[in-house]
Amino acid sequence: MSLEGAIAVTRFGLGAKDGEIKQASRAPKDWLLGQLRPNNSSHAAFKDLRPSDEIYSFSRQYKTARKTMDGDALTAASRVYGKAVRQNFNAEVTARSLYAAQTDTPFHERLTRFWSNHFSVSARNRNTRLFPGAYEREAIRPHILGSFYELAISAIFHPAMIIFLDNDSSVGPNSKRGRKNNIGLNENLAREALELHTVTPAAGYTQADVTEFAKALTGWRIARKTQDSQKQGQITFQESSHEPGSRSVLGKLYEEKEAKQALAILKDLCARPETAQNISHKLAMHFVSDEPPKALVSKLKKVFVKTEGDLTALYTALVNSPLAWAPKAQKIKTPEELIISTARLIGLEKVMSERPRDTYDSLAQVPFTAPTPEGWPDTAKDWLGPDALIKRIEWANELASRMPDIDGRSFLKTALGRQLSPQTLQAVSRAESGQQAFAMALMSPEFQRR
């Protein structure tokens, strides 16, 4: 077993399954790069989950039916709907957890999660409560190996994002529908696409740029009915909602019409150096350190620019950079990473309480519920306040206390390989019981970091 093997599995992967460090140690970089292939997303874990158009139809049926009901019938209907929403959410969280706990391509899965968080759609918004799992499967999972622009299109123009950031209800004030119904713009999607998804404020855009981009995005909404080739619940372009005219964003005039307009703007945004900087920095920060080496960021940025945002080239450059392999782990695991890495070690069923969301909630990170469109934060200062550390210790202690036969000592080598320090080995070996040893192993500096 090599140190690089352990780093590949813990820093780039999702934490060690039994024997995984040994397997990766043979050729750690090849083990990682070999995972950059289209993935079998029809994994058994996902097979019974609903696609987004079905979800849309289901909630639309409910909302339409509501209008005709009152009194007890309404109460009963909303109870049934509420139950379906909760069941769907729990099924999604369970499937996502199970897949991560078992997958043999954990680097691929970490990248999927990175992008799902970058283009965050949260179930905290009550209009998107049912969507985030389907969104990840449809908009993110199949697109993480191509170009950044293709990924950005599939994410930003997915029904879940269109609903989440209010583009479904945004209407050009001078469009046919806008004039007729006196309804107007909602600039939420335009603003977040600029600020978070692509160029960031570093590009120096103004309110006028946001408004212009918002106008260009009008018309992109959800198909209300199935007709022609369009299924209800899929993304569509509705000309009668689109603000007429050409647009100007960041000093460039866009004379494209209708559906092509927003795509042309997005394409240019994706190609800007500020986007290359944003993505390169974020990726390095996610994998290597809260304050990643400048040389690594600029290397990634060069690759991004040169390959026009080829994501596989970007990941390859990351894996091939010696700066990503510093022996000492810098990143503190997020709560979700801690839970998944523990599940890979001892099995998901042992880690999860009856409702999986409760397990995550105890450490303040329930999947699919990022607090803002920015997604979950990714640094130690966000995740390791004094109180958060105590919660982790209480959680580890609780977990150990539910497993009378566990012996923490036996997991150390499996989990950490050559990352295991003599101090941790000694301290865990001297624990007063196998259960205490297990809690200590989970709370060791090496297991808390990656």
Partner 1 sequence: MSDFSRRQTLGLLTGAAFAATPKISFAQGIEGRKFIFIILRGGMDGLAALIPDDKEIEGIRGHILPAQNERLNLGNGFRLHPSFTGLKDLYAAGEAAFVHAAATPYRERSHFEAQDTLETMSFAGAKEGWLNRALAAQGQAGLAVGRAVPLAMKGPAPVTNWSPPLFKEAPDDLLMRLSGLYENDSLLASQLLAAQETSEMGMEISQRSARRFTKEYTIALSTLGELMSVDGGPGIGMVGLDGWDTHNGQANQLIRNFTALDEALIALKNSLSGAWEKSCVVICSEFGRTAAANGTRGTDHGTGGLTMLLGGAVKGGKIHGNWPGVKPAALYKGRDLYPANDITSILKGVMRDHLGIKRHTLDTKIFPNSGRAINGLIRV
Binding site for partner 1 (CB under 8 A): 127, 166, 169-171, 173, 178, 183-188, 191, 195, 201, 207, 210, 332, 362, 364, 371-372, 374, 380-391, 393-398, 421, 423-424, 427, 431-432, 436, 439-440, 443-445, 448
Minimum distance from residue 351 beta carbon to partner 1 (Å): 14
Distance from the Cα of residue 103 to its chain's centroid: 17
Q: How far is the CB of 232 from partner 1 (least distance, A)?
A: 21
Chain-centroid distance of CA 411 in Å reads 29
Question: What are the start-end ranges of the H helices in 34-165?
Answer: 52-67, 71-102, 106-118, 132-135, 148-156, 159-164
How many residues would you count in the chain? 450
Spell 335-350 as b/e; 16+ CB within 10 A means b.
bbbbbbbbbbbbebee
For residues 429 and 408, what is the distance between their CA atoms, to the nearest angstrom? 9
**Nearer to partner 1 (CB atom), residue 271 or residue 393:** 393
Task: Name the pairing type of β-strands 235-237 and 247-249.
Answer: unpaired
> Which residue do the tokens 């299109």 mark?
153
- Which residue shows structure tokens 């993110």? 140
Instruction: Give the residue with the Cβ less far from partner 1, 186 or 238.
Output: 186
Closer residue to partner 1 in complex, CB, 391/413:
391
Query: In the bound complex, what is the minimum distance in angstroms from residue 188's beta carbon to partner 1?
Result: 6
CB 118 within 8 A of CB 274: no
The least CB distance from residue 364 to partner 1, in Å, is: 5
**Is the CB of 15 or the CB of 375 nearer to partner 1?**
375
Residue 190 Cβ vs partner 1, minimum distance, rounded to whole Å: 11
Residue with Cβ nearer partner 1 (146 or 377): 377
Nearest approach in angstroms of CB 357 to partner 1 is: 13
Shortest spacing between CB 439 and partner 1, in angstroms: 6
Return the DSSP state at 205: -
322 or 386: CB nearest partner 1: 386
End-to-end C-alpha distance for the chain, whole angstroms: 17
Using CA of residue 33, residue 34, residue 40, residue 46, what is the dihedral sign? negative
Nearer to partner 1 among residue 112 and residue 170 (C-beta): 170
Quickly list H helices, 352-433: 356-362, 380-383, 386-401, 409-416, 422-429
